[in-house]
Amino acid sequence: MSPIDYKLMLHICCAPDATVPWTELSLIENLNLVGYFYGSNIHPPEEYDKRRNAVEILMDSVKGQCIFPAPTPLSWLDSVRALADEPEGGKRCALCFRLQLDCTARAAVNSGCSHMCTTLTISPHKDVALINSIGNEITENYGLTWVERIWRKNNGFQNSVRMSKAIGLYRQNYCGCKYSKERQGLGIRD
């Protein structure tokens, strides 16, 4: 089967969440795919390093390519600081999704991609309607096509856990941001 004639950028929030989407889009649908790992929301820096390393391991495993922009955690913190007291899943998370997908869309345009998708919808804890709405809005602003997927369907999340274990990927226990970590009582280091 030959690759489909358009290039898709896959926003990767973390390696475990990318296992199923990457397999489906690249290996099954045979799309011309490039990953984009946004990490400015990940705290502390040691956690970012673990997650980036896991994405690199995944890319080696699937023979994929991924863009790793330099993280800008202070910029991310400045953007969401006014929403620090929001509950998980609230306005702060919506803004974080927007920041991640906007950066991905800019990279997609710069990389010659015409389509974009995200791994965020594999999580059973995230609002997929909100994510797909933000994705549609942002890609329209950049002249891209949003590929709407709900990766957690058909046991997607469970399959990602299984695949992550098989590859030996690091699996985190919080979304990545300092606020999520604080609320889970995991402590925080800036």
pLDDT of residue 182: 83
pLDDT tops 80 at residue 46: yes
Give me the residue label for tokens 């990767």. 12
Of the candidates 161, 151, 139, which has an alpha carbon nearest to the alpha carbon of residue 12? 151
Contact partners, residue 3, CB within 8 Å, separation at least 6 = 30, 31, 32
Q: What is the mean pLDDT of residues 111-124?
A: 97
Please say if the pLDDT value at position 190 is more than 50.
no
**Burial profile 138-157: b = 16 or more Cβ within 10 angstroms, e = fewer:** bbeebebebbebebbeeebb
Average pLDDT over residues 81-102: 95
Which of these, 3, 14, 5, lies nearest to 167 by C-alpha position? 14
Residue 42 makes CB contacts below 8 A (sequence gap 6+) with: 48, 51, 71, 73, 176, 177
Please compute the mean of the pLDDT values over residues 37-63 and round it to a whole number: 97
For residue 189, the model assigns a pLDDT of: 36
CA distance 59 to 37: 11
Instruction: Kindly state the average pLDDT of the residues 144-168.
Output: 97
Cα-Cα end-to-end distance for the chain = 48
pLDDT-derived band at 167, boundaries 50, 70, 90: very high
Please state the rounded mean pLDDT for residues 159-181: 93
Please identify which residue in the block is written with the tokens 């979304």: 175
User: What average pLDDT does the segment 31-42 reach?
Assistant: 97
Write down the pLDDT at residue 62: 95
Q: Give the pLDDT confidence score for residue 3 in this predicted structure.
A: 55
Q: In the predicted model, is pLDDT for residue 38 greater than 70?
A: yes
pLDDT at 135 over 90: yes
Residue bearing the bigger pLDDT, 188 or 130: 130
DSSP label of 36 = E
Say which range, 49-53, 54-58, 81-85, 171-175, has the weakest mean pLDDT: 171-175
Interacting residues of 173 by C-beta distance below 8 A, sequence separation 6+:
184, 186
Task: For residue 190, give every residue at least 6 positions away whose Cβ sits within 8 Å of its Cβ, in sequence order, or none.
Answer: 43, 44, 178
